Amino acid sequence: MPADSLAFSFSCAAALVESVLAGANLTDAFEGMLAQHPDWPDGTRGAVRDLAWGTLRDYGRGDAVLRRLLHKPLPESIHALLLVALHRLESRPEQAHTVVNQAVEAAAALMPPLKGVVNGVLRNRQRNAAELDAELVADQAAYYRHPSWWIERLRASFPDDWEAALAAGNERPPMGLRVNRLRGSVDAYASELETAGLGHRRLANDALVLERPVAVAALPGFAAGRVSVQDAGAQWAARWLDLAAGQRVLDACAAPGGKSAHILETAPVELLSLELDPVRTRRIADNFARLGLAGEVRTADCRERAKWWDGRPFDRILADVPCSASGVARRHPDIKWLRRADDIARFAAQQAEILDALWPTLAPGGSLLYVTCSVFDEENARQIERFCARHADALRVDIDGRPARQLLPHADHDGFYYALLAKRA
């Protein structure tokens, strides 16, 4: 198959989907594939990525269609190829003829005896489209393209907004930009974007959201550190920390360093950024170097206080804890299908350990901003309620007039949760 053919992209995307369904992380699998094919042109990389990400965003639907059309299991590679082709059929119905032909070509290269099955299943899908679509409306995992347990949790927590959040969670994510104020104003950068023909919106927290994502190389001044790619929802952290010059600040779970960098761009504070994973720690230092920022960066488990804390209390702590990442699933659509309902309690337990370990390092009168990119209460509101029940010196502080902020996935930003806690002086 020629590397620029749709059949080739189908088979590569199918290999990624197959790995994810066997438990692999999508980004890691894609990076592994790119490392083996350094010669791929940008067009092939982009096509494979779009197909794999799109197929997994739509997996609830593709899976339901195949359950109805297949009478016996197929080899995993062909099953994954059908998922990719079904995704493409639905997203580009005007190309149906090409999609079927190219999927059959890909099957012929993978497992020649099964090309007839691939042809038959895809044609069946087209022939029975109206009937199948009507059935899928009644299948909630297919209709909302999320696992049922996820839908139920969201529905229970957000009776008015759950459907909009699920729909936004199935869209392609927006590209948010953060202007480095140490190297120019947001106004000046916004007009440069305009001149470069990059349409955008400016949000209440001064984040810029591009109308269409572009490669970072196309962003004016990216290499020179004038701008960073950061979701608009993540850009509330620096503001809600209420930073001031000279404060001693801890970012306890810092990689890849987006919020740490934003802190340093906001005020001349003394920042310590901790990160558990040494490979990810390097990304913090790389980001600081590009942006011209100086902060102390260390690899450490923030729960092991004795190993990293010198006993001097912090005025501000950012606890951007590891979580289910359910608020950013459209960027990592493998999450929707790899997470299990009982994973959430394990994340919550880990987050509680982190909070309990950090609290003694906060100065009396200081504050801790708790952040997740989760939409599940157990990691968010309930986590904070339980924390306050355990720590009599913790006070809830309103954020912009509300006890906490839950951002749900939206056209402008991803899903995040923020809660602010102060320590009694």
Ligand X SMILES: C[S@@+](CC[C@H](N)C(=O)[O-])C[C@H]1O[C@@H](n2cnc3c(N)ncnc32)[C@H](O)[C@@H]1O
Q: Which is nearer to ligand X, 20 or 252 (CB)?
A: 252
Interacting span for ligand X (CB under 6 A) from 89-97, 114-122, 298-306, 408-416: 298-306
Interacting span for ligand X (CB under 6 A) from 116-124, 200-208, 218-226, 273-281: 273-281
Closest residue to ligand X: CB criterion:
253
87 contributes a contact to ligand X by CB under 6 A? no
Among 141, 175, 274, 420, binds ligand X (CB under 6 A): 274
Shortest separation between residue 237's beta carbon and ligand X, angstroms: 7
291 contributes a contact to ligand X by CB under 6 A? no
255 contributes a contact to ligand X by CB under 6 A? yes
Interacting span for ligand X (CB under 6 A) from 19-27, 78-86, 98-106, 275-283: 275-283
Establish whether 131 is an annotated binding residue. no
Establish whether 323 is an annotated binding residue. no
Encoded tokens for 88? 């493409």
Q: What string of H, E and C letters represents the secondary structure of the chain? A: CCCCCHHHHHHHHHHHHHHHHCCCCHHHHHHHHHHHCCCCCHHHHHHHHHHHHHHHHCHHHHHHHHHHHCCCCCCHHHHHHHHHHHHHHHHCHHHHHHHHHHHHHHHHHHCHHHHHHHHHHHHHHHHCHHHHHHHHHCCHHHHHCCCHHHHHHHHHHCCCCHHHHHHHHCCCCCEEEEECHHHCCHHHHHHHHHHCCCCEEECCCCCEEECCCCCHHHCCCCCCCCEEECCHHHHHHHHHCCCCCCCEEEECCCCCCHHHHHHHHHCCCEEEEEECCHHHHHHHHHHHHHHCCCCEEEECCCCCHHHHCCCCCEEEEEEECCCCCHHHCCCCCHHHHHCCCCHHHHHHHHHHHHHHHHHHHEEEEEEEEEEECCCCHHHCHHHHHHHHHHCCCEEEECECCECCEEECCCCCCCCEEEEEEEECC
Among 76, 152, 301, 412, binds ligand X (CB under 6 A): 301
Establish whether 253 is an annotated binding residue. yes
178 contributes a contact to ligand X by CB under 6 A? no
352 contributes a contact to ligand X by CB under 6 A? no
Establish whether 301 is an annotated binding residue. yes
Shortest separation between residue 220's beta carbon and ligand X, angstroms: 22
Among 21, 179, 253, 272, binds ligand X (CB under 6 A): 253
Q: Which is nearer to ligand X, 277 or 385 (CB)?
A: 277
Shortest separation between residue 195's beta carbon and ligand X, angstroms: 29
**Edge to edge, what strands does the sheet with 200-202 contain?**
200-202, 208-210, 175-179, 227-229
Establish whether 256 is an annotated binding residue. yes
174 contributes a contact to ligand X by CB under 6 A? no
How many residues bind ligand X (CB under 6 A)? The answer is 20
Among 76, 322, 391, 422, binds ligand X (CB under 6 A): 322
323 catalytic per annotation:
no
* Catalytic-role residue among 12, 302, 373, 388: 373
Numbered residues of the known binding site: 253-259, 275, 301, 320
Residues that bind ligand X (CB under 6 A): 234, 252-259, 274-277, 280, 301-303, 320, 322, 354
Numbered residues of the known binding site for S-adenosyl-L-methionine: 253-259, 275, 301, 320
**Enzyme catalytic residues:** 373
